[in-house]
Each structure stands twice: as C-alpha cells, then as structure tokens.
Structure 1
Amino acid sequence: MDISLQQVGYSYAKGTPFEKKALYEVNATIKSGSYTAVIGHTGSGKSTLLLHLNGLLKPTEGVVQVGDIKITSETKGKELKSIRQHVGIVFQFPEHQLFEETVEKDIMFGPLNFGVPVEEARERAHALIKLLGLPEDVAEKSPFDLSGGQMRRVAIAGVLAFKPSILILDEPTAGLDPRGRKEIMELFHRLHEEENLTTILVTHSMEDAAKYADQILVMHEGRSVMAGPPQEVFADADKLKTYRLGLPRSVAFQRDIEKLFGKELNMLALTEEQLAAAIAEALTKEGER
C-alpha cells in the first residue's frame, strides 16, 4: 500500500505554553514495495515523522494516508487499529520493549492482540526464531537471559509476527558492533525482497541509505527538503552540506579521486564495490588507448 503525506504539520504540547513545532508542511510519497531511507541531522524531524505512519502521532495539520486510510487530527483511536495491523515499527534498542516471561510468548503477543489463533501465533513465533537465526531452544527461555544481539532479534521477531506489509526501522542497528550491524541490515534487506515489504529506514548512516534504499527523503528542521533516488540525492554534495549532511564514504572517495586525476568516473559509486568496479573499468579503458 502506498503512503502519502500532504502538508503535514505537527506540534508537541499544542495549545500549551510548552508548544513546540516539529514538522512543517511535509509532503512525501512512498510507493508500495519501495525501500525508502529517511535521512537528516539530529532534530530534523525524522522520528516524529515515522510516528505518524502508524498513528502513534496524529498530524496537527494536513493528512497522512496509508493505503485507503486517512489520518488527520480528527481521526479517532479505534480507527487506527487497522493501520497498526499493516505497519510495524522497529525502534532504536527494540530489546527494551521485551516484557514476557518467555521468548515464545513475547513473539506471540502481537498476533494474539490482533486476534490470531493461539496455534497459528505459536507457529509464526517458531518460524521467526528459525528465520532470524536463533537457536530453537530459546523459545522457552526468558528473553532477559539472552545476549544483547539475541534479544534484539527476538524484539524484531515480535514486530514481524503480525506480518506487517510496511516495516519502519528507526536506527535499528544502534549500539551494535560492525558485524552485528551488517547482519541486521542484510536481514532486513532480505526480508524486504522476499516478503515484498514496503520498508522505511530512518538512519544517520549515509552508507546504509546509499546501499539499501531505492529512494531517499531528506528532512531538515522539520521540513522535507529533498527526495529522489540515491544517485540523484548523493550527487548534490553542496546541497546536502547546507542541510548538515555528508556523503557516503564511497562517493566522497570518488570525488577525491576525480579531483586528483581531473576526470570523472562514468557512474556515481554508492558502495565500495561499485567504486572498485568503476575504477577498474576506467583503468582498463585508459590502458587500451
């Protein structure tokens, strides 16, 4: 299902002396089945924006539309339940959301809450334990007896268990070492492709945005200021700099190489692998002359 934001504004504590405007006239379209990265400096409105996509926040102004369902300031709480069946959010440090006495019960909680029969919920839990690379015997263990990486995978399984068609990832690798970070990001990418999910990644990592996303949305001071494919967004280093954002390492290194040799490569290298291939191709062509 497509997602659209039309002139969306949001104020925390609206109508009080502590009112603070967080979003201003945000317009964006996220196509069904796409992988969109939302980037921006700290305080740009990224996390506030994502909380609108399953109704945890309602816009003060404008309309958020998820599929056929519209969310406005007047939308009632009971009308949001159907949206939450389709939209799953993996927050930063999702392991902090664990609370049940066993891993199996924790993963089953979401489906049971949406009316899934017990046996089906249990089957989903065990399938996800296997899918996420956890040992089968963790099902009867307390989630709090697991390692930090395993706890995070259990929390992710709890989100996936009610089979959302839209998956929102809010800095999902926060606090992980490089190996764990890569494993989790590759897992989400595989799930995106195999389950045909609409994936929205909120991240500070320009490398992850460049590598995994097919669309980029740039937020700055509560506004949506750029949108487009990674090749287009990361080609404009000067504009990104005005929004206090840098380039992916591969693109920055490419610009340094091009400046050094006075010649542009034939493509924008969004990953280190693409950069190596582009340099090899340029050297081959130079050697043939």
Structure 2
Amino acid sequence: MDISLQQVGYSYAKGTPFEKRALFEVNASIESGSYTAVIGHTGSGKSTLLLHLNGLLKPTEGVVRIGNVSITADTKAKELKEIRRNVGIVFQFPEHQLFEETVEKDIMFGPMNFGVPAEEARQRAHELIKLLGLPEDVAQKSPFDLSGGQMRRVAIAGVLAFKPSILILDEPTAGLDPRGRKEIMELFNKLHKEEGLTTILVTHSMEDAAMYADQVLVMHEGRSVIVGTPEEVFADAERLKSFRLGLPRSVAFQRDFEKLIGRPLGRLALTEGQLASSIAAALKEEGER
C-alpha cells in the first residue's frame, strides 16, 4: 500500500487555550514495499507524524492517503478499521503493552480482535514464536516471567500476528544493549524483505537509517525538510548540522580520512563494511604510486 501525505498539519488541543502546533504542511510519499527512515531531533514531529499513519491521529489540515483510503479531519472512526488492520505499530518499549496471562493469548489477541478464528490465531502465534527465535515452551508462560529481550519479541509478535502490510517502528531498540539492538534491527530487516512489508522506522540512530532504509525523511520543527536516499541525505553534513543532526559514524570517519589523504574516496560509505573496503582500496592505490 502506497502512503502519501499532502500538506498535513496537526495541532494538539486545537481551539483551546492549550493549542500546540506539532506539524506544518508535511509532504511525503512512501512506496509500497519500501523501507523509510524518519529522523529528526527530539520534538521535531516524528512521533506525531507516525500516529497519523494508522489513524490514531487525524490531520488538522491536509490529507493522509494509505492505499485507497484518505484520512482527513472529518474522517469517521469506523472508516479507519481497515487501515488499522493493515498498519502495525511497534512503539518504544512495546513490552509495556503486554497484558494477557500467557504468551500465546497475548499474541492471539490482535488477530482475534479483527475476527480471525481462535484456532487460526493460535497457529499464527506459534509460527511467530518460532520466527522470532523464542523457545516453543514460552507459549504457555506468563510474558511477565520472561527476560526483557524475550518480552519485547513477544510484543512484536503481537503486532505481526494480524499480518499488517505496513509496519511502523517507533525507536524499537530503545533500552536494549548493542547486541540486542542489532538482533532486533536485523530481525525487522529480514521480515521487511521476506514478507514484502512497507517499513517505516522512526529513529535517532543515523547508523540504522543509513544501513537499512531506501529513503530518509528528515523532520525539523514539525516540517518535512529533506527527503532522499541515504546517500543523498548524508552527503550534506552542513545541512544536517543546521537541523541539529549528525552523520553516521562511517560517513563521519570517511570525511576525516578524506581530509587526511587529501582526496575523496568516491562512494559514500553508509556502513562499516563499505568504509573498510573503500579505505583498503585507497591505501592499496597509495601504495602503488
């Protein structure tokens, strides 16, 4: 399902003395099956934006289109059910959303809420337990008896259980150690590719945006200020700096290395692997001179 935002604006508590403008004339297009990273400093409007993508918030102005459905300020709640069935959101600390007495029941809750028969929902739960690398015997355990990392995987399974075609990730690795962050991000990347999902990652990590995304959307003070490929977005360090954002570590190291040798390496190194290859090639070339 393609997604487009056309002149989208949003105000919290509109029409009251507490009104606060959060989004201003946001325009963006996200193609079906793509992986988009949304980056920006704290308070830039990232989280407000993502809440528009399944109708948890409706725009004060403008239109959000998801597939064939248009969401405006006047859209009725009953018109959003199909959108919410197709859009899954993994919030920060998703394990805080666990509530059932067993892992199996927690994962089954979402699809059953959308009318999936209990036996089919149970089958999905067990498939996801296996897919997410959890031991089969966790199915009958309380989710609150699991480790933090396992709880997060159960919560993610609950989002995936109703088979969304669009997956929105709001800082999904918050609070995890480096190993846990890498495992979760690799899991989402695998799901994105194997399930053909449209994935939208809201993140403070320039490294994750550079490594996984096809497209990067930069938010600043409630506006969409840059949209482009990771190569396009991270090539302009000064512009990013003006929006209080930095470069991925590999790109920053590349720029320092280029100053040291007095010439560009060529291709922008978005990952440590690309950086290592580029530096090795440059050093070999220097040695042959």
Normalising by structure 2, what TM-score? 0.99
After TM superposition, the structure 1 = structure 2 runs for residues 266-277 of structure 1, keeping only pairs within 5 Å, are 266-277=266-277
Residue-by-residue CA offset, 1:238-271 (whole Å, 9 max, x unaligned): 0000000000000000000111111100210001
- Secondary structure at 1:101 match in 2: coil
The whole-number CA distance in structure 1 between the counterparts of 2:16 and 2:184 is 41
CA displacement 1:11-68 (0-9 Å, x = unmatched): 0000000000000000000000000000000000000000000000000000000000
Alignment partner of 1:108 is 2:87: no
Q: Distance in 1 between matches of 2:281 and 2:32?
A: 35
- 2:132 alignment partner in structure 1: 132
- Is 1:228 the counterpart of 2:228? The answer is yes
Structure 1 residue 198: deviation in Å? 0.3
| Alignment RMSD (CA, Å) | 0.6
Structure 2 counterpart of 1:36: 36
- Aligned AA (2:124): R
Cα distance, 1:89 vs structure 2: 0.1
Where does the alignment leave 5 or more consecutive residues of structure 2 unmatched? none
**Aligned partner of residue 115 in structure 1, secondary structure:** coil
Deviation, 1:79, is: 0.4
- Structure 1 CA distance, aligned partners of 2:72 and 2:273? 44
Give the partner amino acid of 1:48.
Answer: T
Output one character per residue of 1:150-199: Cα deviation in whole Å (capped at 9) or x when no partner: 00000000000000000000000000000000000000000000000000
The residue aligned with 1:194 is 194
Q: Distance in 2 between matches of 1:145 and 1:173?
A: 20
Displacement of 1:228 after TM fit? 0.3
Residue of structure 2 in register with 1:83 after alignment: 83
CA distance in 2 between counterparts of 1:286 and 1:194 reads: 42
Q: CA deviation at 1:136?
A: 0.4
Q: Which amino acid aligns with 2:253?
A: F
**Corresponding position of 1:170:** 170
For residues 268 and 179 of structure 1, the distance between their equivalents in structure 2, rounded to whole angstroms, comes to 26
Counterpart position of 1:71: 71
Tell me the CA shift for residue 283 of structure 1: 2.0
Counterpart in 1 of 2:239?
239
Residue of structure 2 equivalent to 1:253: 253
Q: Quote the Cα distance in structure 2 between the aligned partners of 1:180 and 1:250.
A: 21
Name the residue aligned to 1:50.
50
CA distance in structure 2 between the aligned counterparts of 1:175 and 1:283, rounded to whole angstroms: 38
CA shift, 1:91, in A, is: 0.1
Name the CA distance, whole Å, in 2 between partners of 1:238 and 1:285.
Answer: 29
Cross-structure match for 2:147: 147
* Shift, 1:236, TM fit: 0.3
- Determine helix, strand or coil for the equivalent of 2:173: coil
For residue 287 of structure 1, what is the aligned residue in structure 2? 287
What count of residue pairs does the alignment treat as equivalent? 289
Query: One-letter code of the match for 1:217?
Result: L
Identical-residue share of aligned pairs (%): 84
Write the letter of the residue equivalent to 1:271: T
Taking structure 1 as the reference length, what is the TM-score of the superposition?
A: 0.99
CA distance in 2, matches of 1:192, 1:220: 27
| Corresponding residue of 2:123 | 123
Q: Which sections of structure 1, spanning at least 5 residues, go unmatched?
A: none
C-alpha distance in 1 between matches for 2:67 and 2:222 = 24
